Structure 1
Amino acid sequence: MKKQGHLNRDIARVLAGMGHTDSLVIADCGLPIPAGVECIDVSLTLGVPGFFDVLDSILADFKAERAVFASEAQTHNAAVVEKSREMAAAQIAIEAVPHEEFKRRCREAKVVIRTGECSPYANVILHSGVIF
């Protein structure tokens, strides 16, 4: 049994297969999943697991060089804005785009990890960096 990293075999598989600039999405329970994009659904009930629980877990095991958020979060979800500031301080480039553009960009992701989060605009697209 694994001792560190992700116990969820699907998340571990996806992270191991990511290449430079590939993207993954961490989504709230309401974000539409684009046809043809793999969905790893870790939701249990409303709010469980939360967006930040999953995001922090992914960031601990994944080299992100860029993160994209919906610009609407700036007026509708202060916690997401604060997290984006923390990520910027950790040298992850941050971009904000309108939610419709965000949903369009999700079509290019390798996977959407769907959480139980139920607060507005609690979604992020993470682009893979390199560890060397």
Structure 2
Amino acid sequence: MKSGGLLHPELLALIARVGHTDTIVIADVGLPIPRNVPRIELAVVAGLPDLLSVLRAVVAELVVESVTLASETRIHSPAFHHQLESVLHAPTVEVDHETLKGMLHHAAAVIRTGETTPYANVILHCGVDF
């Protein structure tokens, strides 16, 4: 058994499998996930687990080169957007929500949380540590 950090076996396998330029999506409970995209279902009930907790655990294990967010997050959920900025330490690009949903088709996987904040979805673009 691991002594700390991320413990979820599917999340660990995903992080070990992705490479430079791959993307991982951490999603709220309502984001429509394309059928052909692998998903890791974490949602238990509305709000559990929250997206920020999952995000913190994942970025502690992953090299993140850049991030994509929906521009609607800043508009409709400004407090949440501010919290995202405090967790993410990589260049961020904002696109409209429909464009973000279109980007899901190319994701290595989508991690669905129980988050219910409007537009609480993050695309992590994997980097390298050298």
TM-score (norm 2): 0.95
Contact residue 27 and residue 120 of structure 2 kept, 8 A: yes
Cα shift at 1:122? 0.5
Runs of 4+ off more than 2 Å = 83-88
Gaps of 5+ in 1: none
Partner Cα distance (1:98, 1:76) in 2: 12
CA RMSD of aligned residues (A): 1.2
Contact residue 74 and residue 81 of structure 1 kept, 8 A: yes
TM-score (norm 1): 0.93
Cα shift at 1:4? 2.4
Cα shift at 1:84? 4.2
Partner Cα distance (2:84, 2:115) in 1: 17
Q: What does residue 7 of structure 2 align with?
A: 7
Would you say 1:40 and 2:40 are equivalent positions?
A: yes
Contact residue 84 and residue 94 of structure 1 kept, 8 A: no
Partner Cα distance (1:125, 1:5) in 2: 21
Aligned pairs, number: 130
Q: What does residue 128 of structure 2 align with?
A: 130
Of the three residues 88, 91, 94, the one matched with 2:92 is: 94
Q: What does residue 57 of structure 1 align with?
A: 57
Contact residue 39 and residue 114 of structure 1 kept, 8 A: yes
CA shift digits 1:8-63 (9 cap, x unpaired): 11100000011001000000000001121001001111000001010111111111
Q: What does residue 78 of structure 2 align with?
A: 78
Equivalent position SS for 1:127: strand
- Identity between Structure 1 and Structure 2 (%): 41
